[in-house]
């Protein structure tokens, strides 16, 4: 085997890669990390990499805050709905009674104890969760 002809191949015929070229990494064409090269010089520096990471973390935090906000709104709406239901429940009995729907009136009255206990539990859970999450996040408010 003549060394000068196949100087880039080892004895198995596999092309040897020059070790020097391994120090600089290259991205795939159309890599999903192309956007990390902010200034477009074709080199993703450590700085660009860490900045992208910071931005991703900030984005994530903002999204989490947004989600928490929506969740709290939802829970608050639910608590209000439950309280209004509690308030209007006796009224419903009264209305059915006035309309001489005695059976309906009786049925609603029968459900009342279960309903009130369930709603009370729900509202208690709401306030409990509020107190718990307030105690857990003792970071100062903005």
Q: What are the residues binding Ca ion (CB under 5 A)?
A: 37, 39, 41, 43
Between 4 and 41, CB nearer to Ca ion: 41
Between 32 and 91, CB nearer to Ca ion: 32
DSSP state of 23: S
**3-state DSSP of 12-81:** CCCECCCHHHHCCCCCCCCCCCHHHCCCCCCCCCHHHHHHHHHHHHHHHHHHHHHHHHHHHHHHHHHHHH
Minimum gap (Å) between residue 49 Cβ and Ca ion? 10
Between 7 and 39, CB nearer to Ca ion: 39
The phi-psi region of residue 91 (left if phi > 0; otherwise alpha if psi is between -120 and 50; otherwise beta) is alpha
Between 48 and 86, CB nearer to Ca ion: 48
- Residue partners of 6: CB distance under 8 A and separation at least 6: 13
Minimum gap (Å) between residue 36 Cβ and Ca ion? 8
Minimum gap (Å) between residue 60 Cβ and Ca ion? 23
Q: 96: which 2 tokens?
A: 């059915």
Minimum gap (Å) between residue 50 Cβ and Ca ion? 13
């Amino acid at each position: 085997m003549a060394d000068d002809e196949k100087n880039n191949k080892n004895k198995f015929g596999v092309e040897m890669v020059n070790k020097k070229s391994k120090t600089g990494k290259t991205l795939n064409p159309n890599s999903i990390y192309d956007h990390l090269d902010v200034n477009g010089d074709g080199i993703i520096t450590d700085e660009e990499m860490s900045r992208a990471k910071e931005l991703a973390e900030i984005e994530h935090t903002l999204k989490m805050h947004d989600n928490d906000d929506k969740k709290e709104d939802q829970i608050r709406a639910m608590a209000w709905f439950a309280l209004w239901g509690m308030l209007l429940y006796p009224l419903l009995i009264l209305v059915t009674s006035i309309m001489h729907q005695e059976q309906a009136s009786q049925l609603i009255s029968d459900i009342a104890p279960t309903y009130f206990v369930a709603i009370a539990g729900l509202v208690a859970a709401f306030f409990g969760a509020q107190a718990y999450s307030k105690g857990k996040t003792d970071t100062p408010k903005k």
